[in-house]
Amino acid sequence: MIENFEHYLQEDCPYGDETTELLQINGGGTLNILSRDEGIGACADDLEQFYKNKGLDVTYRVENGEYFEGGAVIFSAQGNLRILFKLWRVSQTFLSIVCAIAARTHNFVEAARKENPDIMIATSRKTHPGFRKYELKAVKVAGGTHHRNSLSDSILVTQNHLDVADSFENLKAVKKIEIEPRDNDEALKYAEIADVLLLDHYSPEEMAVLVTKLKTINPGLEIAVGGIKSDEIPQYAPYVDIIVSTAPYYAQPLDLTTRIERI
């Protein structure tokens, strides 16, 4: 299986760097990636390993979960100039995405925990193909968690499953059982057998009433909510244990720039 960064590089430089070859650039140099925006560090350690594999020295990288201000250098390396030019754009783009995901996750966590200190911000498995590993890591280092990593590590009985599955009164599994009821009646029915109920399309006021009833039936039941807007997080946070969101994956990439110099 091809390593992720090798795949990204293969896309961006499949045969050679026409520009550096035309200009006959050789020798050693330094690369510094700076952010014009504030953000949260994520996955620079993964990028560092890729640089080392290419024979480059990483002299600085922002730590996972570390806040940085606009104007800060977040990654520095030195070595062969031709290799630095090949890795420049892939590296800058990568960090602009993962650090933005981490920053947005951090903002969601902060907003939610002001209302409910024990709440979890959990992102979905609606990641971009080929980028899940780093998107999930960026969420985790910023204080979030994962609702589901894959179909193989969790159980979620969705409304689509309920539409086609036979009726059931009891379910047993080693993993937590999460159910997405189609209406209030099903929510009350499955509260007895579920570990988690995923409730969508309810207003905060409706949640306040329904959640009280559900936890009376099953005090250990966890309530998750999805499909809400980011500015609605404080309104829902008092009534739920988990807020599920895909939004961090679509955070506006940070505005980064790269400077390469000869040494």
Q: Do 2-105+251-260 and 108-248 share a fold? A: no
In terms of Cα–Cα distance, which of 207, 12, 243 is closest to 105? 243
Does the domain at 2-105+251-260 match CATH 3.90.1170.20? Answer given as yes
**Interatomic CA distance for residues 232 and 240, integer angstroms:** 13
**Interatomic CA distance for residues 247 and 48, integer angstroms:** 27
Confidence of residue 166 (pLDDT cuts 50, 70, 90): confident
Q: Which two tokens stand for residue 39?
A: 């953000």
On average, the pLDDT of the chain sits at: 95
Residue 2 pLDDT > 90:
no
Domain ranges of the chain: 2-105+251-260, 108-248
CATH number belonging to domain 108-248? 3.20.20.70
Give 87-115 pLDDT, tens digit per residue: 999 999 999 999 999 999 999 999 999 99
In the chain, what are the helix, strand and coil shares in percent, each to the nearest 5?
40, 20, 35
pLDDT at 168: 85
Contact 1, 69 (CB under 8 A): no
Residue 83 pLDDT > 80:
yes
Give 168-184 pLDDT, tens digit per residue: 888 888 899 999 999 99
pLDDT at 244: 96
CA-only gyration radius of the chain, Å: 23
Residue 248 pLDDT > 80:
yes
Amino acid letter for position 144: G
**Interatomic CA distance for residues 68 and 58, integer angstroms:** 18
pTM of the model: 0.93
Measure CA 249 to chain center. Answer: 6
Residue owning tokens 């329904």: 210
Interval 157-164 mean pLDDT: 93
